[in-house]
Structure 1
Amino acid sequence: MKTNIKGNVLSALGFALGFQLLAFSSAIAQNTEIQYLSGTGSDKTVNWQFFCTAGRNSGKWTTIPVPSNWEQQGFGKYNYGHDKDSVRGKEKGLYKYNFNVPANWKGKTINIVFEGSMTDTEVKINGQSAGATHQGSFYSFSYNITKLLKYGKKNLLEVTVSKHSANESVNGAERRGDYWIFGGIFRPVFLQALPAEHIAHVAVDGKATGAFTARVKLAAVAQADEVTAQVYTITGNTKVGNAFAAKVNAGDSVATLQTTVASPALWTPETPNRYRVEFTLLAKGKPVHTVQEKFGFRTVEVRERDGIYLNGVKIKFKGVNRHSFWPTTGRTMNESMSIADVQMIKDMNMNAVRMSHYPPDAHFLNATDSLGLMVLDELSGWHKAYDTQVGSILAKEMIAHDCNHPSIVLWDNGNEGGHNFELDHWFDELDLQKRPLIHPWQVFREFDTQHYINWDYGNDTHLHGHKIVFPTEFLHGLYDGGLGAGLEDYWELMWRHPRSAGGFLWVFADEGIARKDKNDSIDNDGNHAPDGIVGPFHEKEGSYYAIKEIWAPVHFEKKDLTPAFNGQFSVENRYHFTNLDQCKFTFKLSSLQKGGDVTGTVNVPDIAPGKTGIITCNLPANWQQYSVLYVTALDAQQHEIFTWSWPIKLPTAIAHMLVKQEGGAAVSVSEKDSLIVATAGDVTLSFHKNNGLLQTVQNGKGIIPLSNGPVLCEGETGFVKWNTRKDGNNVVVAGEFQKKSLVQLLEWTIFPSGWVKMQIKYYPKDYETSLIGVNFSFPESIVKSAQWMGTGPYRVWKNRMKGGTLNVWNKEYNNTSTGEGKLIYPEFKGYYPNLYWVKLNTTGQPLTVVCANEDVFLRLFTPKFSVTPFNTAPVFPDGDLSFMHGISPIGTKSQKADKMGPMGQKHMYFDYWKDPMHTKDITLFFNFSGKE
């Protein structure tokens, strides 16, 4: 396959490392020809001949798509980085491919380029070695094969790829990381034909001031005498400023060009403005070679004991770590996948992404450039570092390949102890833009990047120290823990603290591989890989929406909508560069009980970044007739920031609309053995005399299996006996309790309609307590679905309350264990806040419960947790259904919930000496009538 590329796809980057080693960035030359030998990504591959030396389908020549990881094509052995050396697959892959080279390429410089190969890679052309074995998996490398080719004829490419390296430092840095390890040529391979005299590499630096510098590396200059350049707009051919040039002499290897652009549009994650620049090598005025680069004008600056500044503005990084990974293709990606990942990250209102733990595909960086995410680009090293010899080669390759992307704002040298200090100088010397360098996990230079710090670290370090605090990993996700859970506490502290630069959550997606040897079932290697905000196929977990709200650049002051509400909200602009008047706000009023929603506009004044102002919803005069107010904010590109909701009608008003008390004959009550029996038409309830619990519910259609309640989540009720009384046509069954018991009032009121009211007033067990509420038994096995009015649709934890909206939700039953097995999100079981009413649809009769109190949580059964949950299996109440004032928080893989901030701590309740005015109150209405 031969392609003459006219757009902005690839460019040659030259380095002399014993042999001429060329890396690549995103520019191309108009007279450079690119011929792909492989496909361009996982969605477009080319079959090569292949032989695997061990494991599945080994010992025979067959074919394999390139690029790919061979495990996902049915070859070799699967291994996670933590596997013992004795069980690791050490197979090699032998590749062959025949290709033609045009006759008119003779006299040009021809390079073969590998964008990524795992890991030791030996290359032969027509039986002759192309150069030294390349070691290191994630780096673009190339060989000058000009003298090895047969022009106008067929050529043979032979490649031997060793899954594990002969260099132990490479294995330590890459192959023993906390992630899946693969083998194969997993990124594209292509030929590049350049003029004999050519531009080998260009590094550019566009400052926020408009100052522009380019370092142009030249090869084989003999007749050429000048390099010229012109800056253009990103689209079209509109010139920006004047042309500029530098003279060159025969034998020169570098030319430096400089100019200044007046008032350039700057690159930021909120406004990713870019330009392109065209360089031409001339000989006596005639073009010899032309290349182009895309770039952005922006300045990154670190101010000691202060923070990170972009274009003079202090930045708070809202970031996530991201692997290059897809369940069916391993680390072989494509452009559409990269764009989708960047869009999802930005949709969560993040502004940054860290490459963990290796450089990404070029198309991912193209996406972060064009869509706007700040990037930390990382040299591999997980607990172990490359040795200086191979590490120097790889650091040079990474810097050359990635240096012109404006989205890259910092470099990482290794991770969590995988730092070779002898490599630091390469970043300082080779990066024309002089980006800051960090050692993730270390206190290094101006930064404290410690991982998985507690909310308040203390002791003259972290936020109590003097370094810029920049955790490159925090709130380690596992199953449904971490990530959104705890983030609000961390973020409010980070946002307000002057030395915090924000941080990066671990991690974007579960790294579960679809095992070809196990019918494509997802393997997370136990609890090692299910760490993501989204599932392996990017299924959105509850934390996705919690993060989206917590990190929204529009921050609403807490507010209740009383009759005095005038449509105004106080909002803080948490953008760094965008005025809120560039965003669009709308509102919607909804009744939720019937149709007739009303939408309208919101007035947004000039609210500069970091400032607070008032926005005004232009509400109709009858706004109080509706149940809920929604406000949606769209950013300057018309993407949703978030939709917030506020209740207008409180639960007591909705309960009054729904509950039917009248109808039928007067209720009767009697005693039978150990039971109190109340009857309303064909509805019968029984209560146990000794323990004070509901025993049975039955109507003309049969049994409704709600029983054994209410039981306090913590503590004993102190029940003594039942007292019954008539209340008009109603019957009240009232509990009597011991003096100073936790329950102060328990009354069941049975209405002639078949509806039943339960009211309980109680105290929590202790000053500090884990769970507050009451439980009932109800058989999970008969439940088919739930419909409810409340905040949803995802469940919450005490320390992950954000991300939902008030609405009427429908959810089919599922038994999802977050991050394991078949993932159906949202999960069915768990806690749901702000309950108004719920209807459980069952294989028998439905159960409808209406709540008349604010701030009551519905607990639906107990979620299924992993057998090795670490801190991510919170305590749940007994029973099956609960109505609660206090629920449990969830921890992370490495932290208990109480170390993650105030929201993760136990509930605190002062009982005021058992003052009846301070009891907790829950009023529920049950529809036992058998009628909808």
Structure 2
Amino acid sequence: MKRIILSALCLIGVFAVKASAQQSKLIYLSGIDKDHTVNWEFFCTKGMNSGKWTEIAVPSQWELQGFGGYNYGHDKKKSDEQGLYRHHFKADKSWSDKEIQLVFEGVMTDAEVKINGQLAGAIHQGSFYRFNYPVSNLLKFDADNVLEVTVSKQSADATVNNAEREGDFWAFGGIFRPVYLKVMPKTFIDRVAIDARADGNFGIDVFTAKVQSGDKVSVRLSTLKGAAFGSPLSYNISKPADSIRLTGKFSKPVLWNPEFPNLYMAQVSIMRKGRIVHVLNQRFGFRTVEVRKSDGIYVNGTKILIKGVNRHSFWPESGRTLSRNVHLQDIMLMKEMNMNAVRMSHYPPDAEFLDLCDSIGLFVVDELTGWQQHYGTPVGRKLVKELIVRDVNHPSILFWANGNEGGFNFDLDNDYALYDPQKRVVIHPWSNFNNIDTKHYPEYSYIENAAKKQDILLHTEMIHGLYDGGHGASLDDNWKLIRQNPRHAGGFLWALTDEGVVRRDKKDSIDTDGNHGADGIVGPHREKEGSFYTIKEVWSPVQIKKPDFSSRNVVVELENTYLYTNLSECNFSWQLVKFPLAGEKKNGFIPISSGKLSAELAPGKKGSFKLGLTPNWKDADALRFIATNKEGREIYTWAWPIKTTAQIAQKNLSRLDKEKSSITDSEKENVYVVTQNGIIYTFDTQTGYLKTVENSKGVVSFGNGPKLAGVNQTLQSFKHMKTADGGIIVESTYTGESTLNAKWLFVLGKPVCLEYDYTQTGTANFYGITFDIDESKITGMRWLGDGPYRTWKNRLKGVNTSVWEKSYNNTITGETFVYPEFKGYHANLYWAEIAASNASFRVYTDKSDLFLQMLKPDKQRTSFIAHVNPPFPEGNLGFLNAIAPIGNKFTKADPMGPQSQKNIALNSKVIGKLWFDFY
């Protein structure tokens, strides 16, 4: 290939051109995305709706349109149908003197293309890559043209199938990205490759066709608003060549980074005799990426820490045929979680997604397809070129990834630099390559011990999010450890979404192929799971310490963990709030005063700031602190109780004075009955348990306790006595593996109170007491505590103290998608109202840090993995002092960090108190 290198600066002044610039025209033969399609004629050779000519929307995946057969990559028997596409179009007569290319953005998998019965070129192999054919000489102008595409789902190249269709993801078929004609003058700019550095050094490779001696290539830079930046570069062509390099130096460019995604436009022109022949506009950003061996990854001289996620290009009704709205939704979900990076797993995405990463701001790892198997060298070389040629100018891309988890063809590693003037580093996700250890799913000890190694750590997959496991669980511990290691560059969680397909052959049910696709932080339609908010808090670029409310002047300690942003760019406000009382028909909180805080703090720094609360701040129940970024998006909102649990309990209980009617009791065989205000409490004298409660509405869904959670116990004594003031005390004492004393207090004019204490030794998944409720009768709950999502021992962040309410659901995380889940552990209980179809009741506590166990989550229907199914007590309504952690797909909880360990008993007596209002 001929190539002209222009190393010196060739600057020209601004010049006037009488003729208007000629830009390429894109003529879409298909639609542009999943929501805007064009019907083509279609014939499917096997499977659903096969053997007949009909129509299909293009772009699309044909399975999602009801053709062929579905396959997940792990399926041993693969569908091998072909899709025959036919489309008629007209070529405008004015194109007869133009260069015309037929462009496909993506076809699964092999594509044979004909125009008017003639082959457009060689069969293309490889699903996720842009390819094109010159078709000027095949077209009939001002007449009907016929485009025929034969798409083979299974490739004739076995290595393509190995790399693309044997992986841990859905394998579809079809023309799934747009198809268009690119109309250009005969002399044209085919493409450019830009290398724009943070110091202002600028280089551009301009790839041209059919230029002539005397032609001129010029490059003008501008802001996206059109303001000129620097002086233009130009080169006079004396001898035609395939590519030209122009270089220059620009003073003080505004740099690109994910927090300030500043972009420029390069207008590249070919001029002939003072007339512009062709113009190509290319967005880019000035930025420098460095991998400093045994140190870290630097962007624009700043050491970065990646907070990222793996993203499949996926939508349930359309497979990998997406839209700008889907891309934007996914990026904004990442931004909402305070992420700054995304890995393209395991193939290059739509070009539009990368455009949005450039303009909104995300670091990107762009990946050649390969999942434990790789492309052969001949086809791989073609696809590496197609990948880099399409994506080279995106400033968001930090690294190229050559396959995944052993799917590396080492022969291709040096090919990336052939097409990338930035010479971005190539990584091998899962392995240690180019001095970057990308270890997948590291346990806590691996991260801890890696601090002794010299290589940079960047986990391209971490904390597997199967069902409700992983992701947020253990992230707090792991992230603290990652931040302590100066050579750690962060990582990418697996994965953003549950990859669930709407199956046309199964009554439009959502299929995640068992536990293979249920890995998301969000569901298939982007339903947010509990870990979403945990990640948001742990990865908040503003870290904050809970204020000390014992001091006169309340101070917040802030840490700025942004890479480039001073906290002066952010907005901070506070609210003093009161919580609605139990029984009131209000949820949330009630603001009583508010204010703002200004904080100037450089990245990486800590500082203390006085809040300036109003004098009545001690009257409030809690303090809320809200941080928003420069775009006005919430970074995170923290809520800290000011009033103690006991104070909140007293405020609620003072409103519950009952009629001071007498309290009566009776005893018959094996039961003891207490009646107060028309409510009947029946105790089993053989077990010591409160067996049932009945009020005027009927039997309440509550009883059979208290039992000590997870412990076998034997009733030592059961007794009852009357008090001098007309009350009754019922007391049960238990021995066995642990001790438990339960004392029910019936007092005139007061709700019944349970005082209990227990002593346990050793480690356990949970500690506390439980009762039974009839799940079939439960309709919902309303409570003051942390919510609205359930928690695990190693996922306590991401919830907020407020009054919450949710209706009963039987969600199985990752299989059904109504969130937040109703069942599970709920942290920091103050009071709860349990709504039931027969009779509801309320419960209050004065003990801090108590967990409410609401029922037991059902097991997954498709598979059972113990790591993501933590144990629950025998009873299904628990008041617990400790709860179980959750593991992830590949490991149980224990190896994931301190918060993931089983609970260790303090060998001291635990005291609790609960009040029950069976109204």
Q: Per the shorter chain, which TM-score range?
A: over 0.9
Q: 1:566 aligns with which of 553, 556, 560?
A: 553
Distance in structure 2 (CA, Å) of the matches to 1:730 and 1:692: 22
CA deviations 1:84-133 (Å, max 9, x no partner) are: 1xx31100011111111111212221110000000100111111111110
SS of aligned partner of 1:366: helix
SS of aligned partner of 2:488: coil
Are 2:168 and 1:178 equivalent residues in the alignment?
yes
Q: 2:130 aligns with which of 109, 130, 140?
A: 140
CA deviations 1:367-389 (Å, max 9, x no partner) are: 11111110000000001000110
Q: 2:725 aligns with which of 729, 738, 743?
A: 729
Do the aligned residues in 2 keep the contact of 1:118 with 1:183 (CA within 8 Å)? yes
Distance in structure 2 (CA, Å) of the matches to 1:663 and 1:137: 75
Are 2:765 and 1:776 equivalent residues in the alignment?
no
Displacement of 1:651 in angstroms is 1.6
Of 156-165 and 281-290, more deviation after overlay is shown by 281-290
Are 2:78 and 1:52 equivalent residues in the alignment?
no
Counterpart AA for 1:166:
A
Unaligned runs of at least 5 residues, structure 1? 1-12, 16-27, 912-917
- Number of equivalent positions: 892
Counterpart AA for 2:454:
H
SS of aligned partner of 1:473: strand
Displacement of 1:472 in angstroms is 0.3
Do the aligned residues in 2 keep the contact of 1:848 with 1:927 (CA within 8 Å)? yes
Q: Which residue of 2 aligns with 1:470?
A: 458
Do the aligned residues in 2 keep the contact of 1:97 with 1:158 (CA within 8 Å)? yes
Displacement of 1:225 in angstroms is 2.5
Identity %: 45
Q: Which residue of 2 aligns with 1:845?
A: 839
Q: Which residue of 2 aligns with 1:78?
A: 70
Q: Which residue of 2 aligns with 1:261?
A: 250
Of 647-656 and 394-403, more deviation after overlay is shown by 647-656
Displacement of 1:744 in angstroms is 5.6
Q: Which residue of 2 aligns with 1:7?
A: none
Do the aligned residues in 1 keep the contact of 2:734 with 2:741 (CA within 8 Å)? no
After superposition, where does 1:21-60 map in structure 2 within 5 Å? 30-60=22-52
Counterpart AA for 1:272:
P
Are 2:373 and 1:372 equivalent residues in the alignment?
no
Q: Which residue of 1 aligns with 2:827?
A: 833
Displacement of 1:741 in angstroms is 7.3
Q: Which residue of 1 aligns with 2:144?
A: 154
Distance in structure 1 (CA, Å) of the matches to 2:735 and 2:101: 89
Do the aligned residues in 2 keep the contact of 1:29 with 1:292 (CA within 8 Å)? no
Q: Which residue of 2 aligns with 1:869?
A: 864
Do the aligned residues in 1 keep the contact of 2:659 with 2:677 (CA within 8 Å)? no
Q: Which residue of 2 aligns with 1:8?
A: none
Distance in structure 1 (CA, Å) of the matches to 2:263 and 2:822: 45
Are 2:484 and 1:496 equivalent residues in the alignment?
yes
Distance in structure 1 (CA, Å) of the matches to 2:289 and 2:2: 26
Q: Which residue of 1 aligns with 2:323?
A: 334
Do the aligned residues in 2 keep the contact of 1:730 with 1:749 (CA within 8 Å)? no
CA deviations 1:25-67 (Å, max 9, x no partner) are: xxx9842121111111111111111111111111111111110
Q: 1:293 aligns with which of 256, 279, 282?
A: 282
Of 178-187 and 867-876, more deviation after overlay is shown by 867-876
Q: Which residue of 1 aligns with 2:393?
A: 404
Distance in structure 2 (CA, Å) of the matches to 1:727 and 1:154: 100
Q: Which residue of 1 aligns with 2:783?
A: 788
For normalisation by structure 2, the TM-score amounts to: 0.94
Distance in structure 2 (CA, Å) of the matches to 1:836 and 1:808: 10
Distance in structure 1 (CA, Å) of the matches to 2:602 and 2:472: 27
Are 2:57 and 1:65 equivalent residues in the alignment?
yes
Distance in structure 2 (CA, Å) of the matches to 1:297 and 1:263: 10
Counterpart AA for 2:479:
W
Counterpart AA for 1:437:
V
Displacement of 1:615 in angstroms is 3.0
Do the aligned residues in 2 keep the contact of 1:225 with 1:250 (CA within 8 Å)? no
Distance in structure 2 (CA, Å) of the matches to 1:363 and 1:261: 28
Q: Which residue of 2 aligns with 1:711?
A: 707
Counterpart AA for 2:232:
A
SS of aligned partner of 1:518: coil
CA spacing shift, 1:571–1:730, aligned 2, 3 Å:
farther
Distance in structure 2 (CA, Å) of the matches to 1:312 and 1:811: 48
Distance in structure 1 (CA, Å) of the matches to 2:189 and 2:221: 17
Distance in structure 1 (CA, Å) of the matches to 2:414 and 2:201: 25
CA spacing shift, 1:618–1:29, aligned 2, 3 Å:
farther
Do the aligned residues in 2 keep the contact of 1:664 with 1:680 (CA within 8 Å)? no
Q: Which residue of 1 aligns with 2:545?
A: 557
SS of aligned partner of 2:283: strand
Distance in structure 2 (CA, Å) of the matches to 1:536 and 1:515: 13
Q: Which residue of 1 aligns with 2:888?
A: 892
Distance in structure 2 (CA, Å) of the matches to 1:14 and 1:144: 21
Distance in structure 2 (CA, Å) of the matches to 1:620 and 1:851: 29
Do the aligned residues in 2 keep the contact of 1:651 with 1:853 (CA within 8 Å)? yes
Unaligned runs of at least 5 residues, structure 2? 4-19, 582-588
Distance in structure 2 (CA, Å) of the matches to 1:848 and 1:739: 29
Displacement of 1:234 in angstroms is 1.0
For normalisation by structure 1, the TM-score amounts to: 0.93
Distance in structure 2 (CA, Å) of the matches to 1:730 and 1:865: 48
Q: Which residue of 2 aligns with 1:315?
A: 304
Displacement of 1:729 in angstroms is 3.0
Distance in structure 2 (CA, Å) of the matches to 1:716 and 1:476: 35
Do the aligned residues in 2 keep the contact of 1:458 with 1:464 (CA within 8 Å)? no
Q: Which residue of 1 aligns with 2:494?
A: 506
After superposition, where does 1:634-783 map in structure 2 within 5 Å? 634-659=628-653, 660-661=656-657, 663-717=659-713, 719-729=715-725, 731-735=727-731, 737=733, 742-743=738-739, 745-753=741-749, 755-764=751-760, 766-783=761-778
Do the aligned residues in 2 keep the contact of 1:375 with 1:409 (CA within 8 Å)? yes
Distance in structure 2 (CA, Å) of the matches to 1:62 and 1:730: 85
CA spacing shift, 1:670–1:565, aligned 2, 3 Å:
farther
CA spacing shift, 1:344–1:736, aligned 2, 3 Å:
closer
Of 737-746 and 281-290, more deviation after overlay is shown by 737-746
CA deviations 1:762-819 (Å, max 9, x no partner) are: 123x322111010101101101111111000000111111111111111010111111
After superposition, where does 1:356-395 map in structure 2 within 5 Å? 356-395=345-384
Do the aligned residues in 1 keep the contact of 2:176 with 2:320 (CA within 8 Å)? yes
CA spacing shift, 1:801–1:98, aligned 2, 3 Å:
same
Q: 2:437 aligns with which of 430, 448, 465?
A: 448
CA spacing shift, 1:201–1:573, aligned 2, 3 Å:
same
Of 597-606 and 50-59, more deviation after overlay is shown by 597-606
Do the aligned residues in 2 keep the contact of 1:554 with 1:574 (CA within 8 Å)? yes
SS of aligned partner of 1:923: strand
Displacement of 1:458 in angstroms is 7.2
Distance in structure 2 (CA, Å) of the matches to 1:196 and 1:598: 71
Distance in structure 2 (CA, Å) of the matches to 1:703 and 1:285: 93
CA spacing shift, 1:739–1:123, aligned 2, 3 Å:
closer
Do the aligned residues in 2 keep the contact of 1:80 with 1:525 (CA within 8 Å)? yes
Displacement of 1:728 in angstroms is 4.6
